[in-house]
A = this chain, B = another copy of it.
Amino acid sequence: MAPQFGSPPRTFKPMVQAHTRMLDRSVPQAVKAAVMVIGGAEDKIHGREILHAFFQRSGGTGARIAIIPSASREPSVIGSKYRMIFESMGAESIEILDVRDRDQGSNESYLEYVYSCTGVFMTGGDQLRLCGLLAETRLMESILERVRRREISLAGTSAGAAVMGHHMIAGGGSGESPNRSLVDMATGFGVLPHVIVDQHFHNRNRMARLLSAVSLHPDRLGIGIDEDTCACFEDDGSIEVLGKGTVTIIDPGDITYTNQSLVGANDPVSLHHLRLHVLSYGDRYSIPMRRVVSTGQPR
């Protein structure tokens, strides 16, 4: 199996002397595939920074973009909205893969497009709906295979971001001490198998629910992404932050204790010795090294 984005060799601990690894900037960004995990509510009107970055990472004016609006209950509306945006940027080709039942997950013309596309964009909506319609369909398997081979860029916003991990936050609450019942877990597409994604993160006060999720799966990295913010996963396992807000990383790599399996579902959880990073624009974090490798410049 090809290496997967964000797959952390758990024995590869941060080294103090490790050099900051810089990406080769001579490779045009436009042809470098990425997995772009967007916290929802990304700017669709003004600078469109994040959507434009996806357009570029899908090939710019050579981009052939597939839009999957299946998370939404209004797939036509939301699909058309994104089509107009990528059209206005000058994409070569755009198709909406409007899957509304699992049978369409084998649709031959959709499959054909997926094999010729350069980027796939998953919209917001309900992550359980998106997974229910697409998980393990030929269409999704084909997309995931092309992502694993670094042949295409994949972006997801809101629900489309939540599905990126293997363990997926399907829902939950806020305003409580972290506890198991504060978060509903399900299974995502596993594009970034070692990560648990939460979105609309500080905007919807989801720290306690992400901590609750991490207590259930302390072998994963919790990543909370704010609105109009993107965690852009590169093929070296690093994440760069784009957009207006923060990306919060909860790293339980050195965790010494959790009482999660010892207490009731509504009891508060203990989590001792987590590492926490709040990243903003331009900051870059390496998952294999488990540390920040470079900082952004204030703009």
Contact = CB atoms under 8 A, between A and B. Distances in A.
Interface stretch (A88-96, A114-122, A126-134, A272-280): A272-280
A149 interface: no
A272 B256 contact: no
A10 to B, nearest CB: 19
A259 B298 contact: yes
Interface of A: 174-178, 202-205, 207-208, 211, 226, 229, 244-246, 250, 256-257, 259, 262-263, 267-281, 283, 291-292, 295-296, 298
Contact of A272 (B174, B202, B279): B279
How many identical chains are in the complex?
Answer: 2
A279 B273 contact: no
6 contacts: A175-B205, A207-B208, A257-B292, A270-B283, A271-B278, A273-B292
B270 A279 contact: yes
Nearest to A226: B177
A283 B177 CA distance: 15
A178 B259 contact: no
A272 B246 CA distance: 12
A281 B268 contact: yes
Given A174-B205, A205-B205, A207-B205, A295 B272 contact: yes
Given A174-B205, A273-B292, 19 more contacts: A177-B226, A177-B245, A178-B202, A202-B207, A202-B208, A205-B207, A226-B268, A244-B268, A245-B268, A246-B269, A256-B292, A259-B295, A259-B296, A267-B298, A270-B295, A270-B296, A272-B278, A274-B276, A274-B278
A203 B207 CA distance: 11
B278 A276 contact: no
